[in-house]
Structure 1
Amino acid sequence: MSILSTRAFVPVAAFLAIAASFAHASAGETVKSKPIGVVELFTSQGCSNCPKADRVIETLASRGDVITIAYHVDYWNYMGWQDTLSGKENTTRQYGYAKTLGIKNVFTPQIVLNGIYDTKLTNAEKIVDKLKQLRGTEEAMPVSVSVELSAEEMTINIGDAKPSLPTKADIVVAYFRKHSAVEIQTGDNQGKKIVYRNAATKLETVGMWTGKAMTVKLPAAVLGKRGFDGCAILLQSHGTDDNPGRILGAAAL
């Protein structure tokens, strides 16, 4: 169900507590507008090669100019450890990217930049350098996106399209847990305690952009959903079969 049809509001006290947690976040994590790029990681607690990439996301999440989202996939769960953050929706998104990017097989860890560039980089500074290189290219994010939070609503502002840009995209909210520390009991990472940053809990399309500046208002109830304490707003185009494509703009709370 779309958030736009949601009308149940959380109690004021509960909302204020959640809003306070946003307000007391570090300056770099409270509101991110005009980021240099979006870094999406597909990972798993059962993947022996993933902890290094997880640490990269932890580093990037602390910056004020990069938006990061970690999607824990579920296809490694059969190996003996059930990823506590995994979800079928995350796996579906990765398969969608594979079709968009022309990749035959999915794997972990996989990093996607701006929805259109696949990289095996696991060095934070090199990823930042690559995002900066993408500026001014077909893989940049040229549409302004901002988000504001008040006691009653979350307001998303989307800018106009520029010449030669796609003029149709979804407005997607990616809800995430900012910080999760997990002690892994079995599998390839047995005995490790790993810190996961910005682990996605839900993706929701809340509107459609058609190239003109627009505003979307969501009720405060969206902050009452269980399982998240942050979110990213992605203005994302899509290809055939509605697979995720280029991210034209983004912001985060």
Structure 2
Amino acid sequence: MRAPLSLFLFLLSAMLQAGSTPLTFSSGEQQVSLIELYTSEGCSRCPPADRFLQSLGKQEGLFSTFIPLSFHVDYWDYIGWADPYASPAFSDRQRRYAQIHDSNRVYTPGFFINGNEWRGFFQRDRNWRGSLSRKKVGVLSVTYQHPTSQATFEGKLPDSARLNTAWIGLGLESSIQRGENRGKTLQHDFVVLQWKNQPMPSSTVTLTLPSPPDNGQQRTGLVAWISQSSDPRPVQAAGSLLPSKTTIH
């Protein structure tokens, strides 16, 4: 008999807490690009963008040259469906991007690559790889063993550096009962379930992370990136999926 997913996630969390083999991952010296999608389950135009982000999980270079992230915003919740993955902090992050690009407008679906608006999704060719950065910025390495994580950056830290860490979920599914997507079943990958932002005053920093959240996802990943306190655009990023017997959709 196949064990239920909730039991598997419980056992995985228990193994991490019990001091199992640490999860270690790093970027190369060249910049790993963050591809950020700002989306909402309450937005009728968002499911195609969600599917596009899902498709990136099958592309060459995942986690080594690019990392997809799906930030669910809360500013559409008022139209009838409260997105379970939405956070005011994610909406604020998108608004901060709008500010640094001299714009007073946020919208969904909205894509940013390395903090720069990417409108290629709305074009026929969708040449997203042409927007990836491969400049040499330094190596970001992360070691996680519950509840402690250590991040090290071999390169020049930006002024007022910040370390961002995010738990992400893949293989999530929602049955929408109200709002613009009423009656639809939506699938999501690379959803940011939890995001933490803290100062990084030196090239090595140790932090305490909570256990991976259990939102019913089939896969769980950890992503880290460096930015500045005054500028959310990522300088370098690294990420990995936690061990699992399941696969990316």
Q: TM-score, normalised by structure 2?
A: 0.75
Where does residue 16 of structure 1 map in the other structure? 15
Specify which structure has the higher proportion of helix. Answer: 1
Where does residue 252 of structure 1 map in the other structure? 239
CA RMSD of aligned residues (A): 3.1
Partner Cα distance (1:82, 1:151) in 2: 31
Q: Deviation digits for residues 76-134 of structure 1, max 9, x if unmatched? A: 1111111121111111111111111212211001111112x101222896212321xx3
Where does residue 87 of structure 2 map in the other structure? 87
Matched-pair contact (CA < 8 Å) for 2:32–2:238: no
Partner Cα distance (2:207, 2:11) in 1: 16
Amino acid at match of 1:15: A
Q: Deviation digits for residues 14-45 of structure 1, max 9, x if unmatched? A: 4316798x97xxxxxx9462364101111001
Amino acid at match of 2:239: A
Query: For the structure 1 residues 157 and 125, does the alpha-carbon distance in structure 2 shift closer, same or farther, using more than 3 Å as the test?
Result: farther
Matched-pair contact (CA < 8 Å) for 1:49–1:108: yes
2:185 to 171, 176, 193: 193
Query: For the structure 1 residues 209 and 183, does the alpha-carbon distance in structure 2 shift closer, same or farther, using more than 3 Å as the test?
Result: same
The answer to whether 1:41 aligns with 2:29 is no
Between 145-154 and 78-87, report the one with greater CA deviation. Answer: 145-154
Identity of aligned residues (%): 26
The answer to whether 1:54 aligns with 2:38 is no
Where does residue 160 of structure 2 map in the other structure? 168
Segments of 5+ residues of structure 1 without an aligned counterpart are 1-10, 24-29
Partner Cα distance (2:192, 2:43) in 1: 17
Where does residue 230 of structure 1 map in the other structure? 221
Query: What is the DSSP-based 3-state SS (H/G/I as helix, E as strand, rest coil) of the residue aligned with 1:245?
Result: coil
Give the superposition deviation at 1:151. 6.0
Where does residue 6 of structure 1 map in the other structure? none
Query: For the structure 1 residues 191 and 247, does the alpha-carbon distance in structure 2 shift closer, same or farther, using more than 3 Å as the test?
Result: same
Give the superposition deviation at 1:222. 2.5
Query: What is the DSSP-based 3-state SS (H/G/I as helix, E as strand, rest coil) of the residue aligned with 1:247?
Result: coil
Query: For the structure 1 residues 175 and 13, does the alpha-carbon distance in structure 2 shift closer, same or farther, using more than 3 Å as the test?
Result: closer
Give the superposition deviation at 1:190. 2.0
Query: For the structure 1 residues 113 and 124, does the alpha-carbon distance in structure 2 shift closer, same or farther, using more than 3 Å as the test?
Result: farther
Matched-pair contact (CA < 8 Å) for 2:150–2:206: yes
The answer to whether 1:155 aligns with 2:150 is yes
Q: Deviation digits for residues 199-234 of structure 1, max 9, x if unmatched? A: 222221233246xxx222234x53355558322111
Query: What is the DSSP-based 3-state SS (H/G/I as helix, E as strand, rest coil) of the residue aligned with 1:126?
Result: coil
Aligned length: 218
Partner Cα distance (2:12, 2:173) in 1: 27
Amino acid at match of 2:119: K
Matched-pair contact (CA < 8 Å) for 1:173–1:204: yes
Amino acid at match of 1:192: K
Query: What is the DSSP-based 3-state SS (H/G/I as helix, E as strand, rest coil) of the residue aligned with 1:78?
Result: helix
Partner Cα distance (1:75, 1:13) in 2: 34
Partner Cα distance (1:196, 1:68) in 2: 12
Where does residue 96 of structure 2 map in the other structure? 96
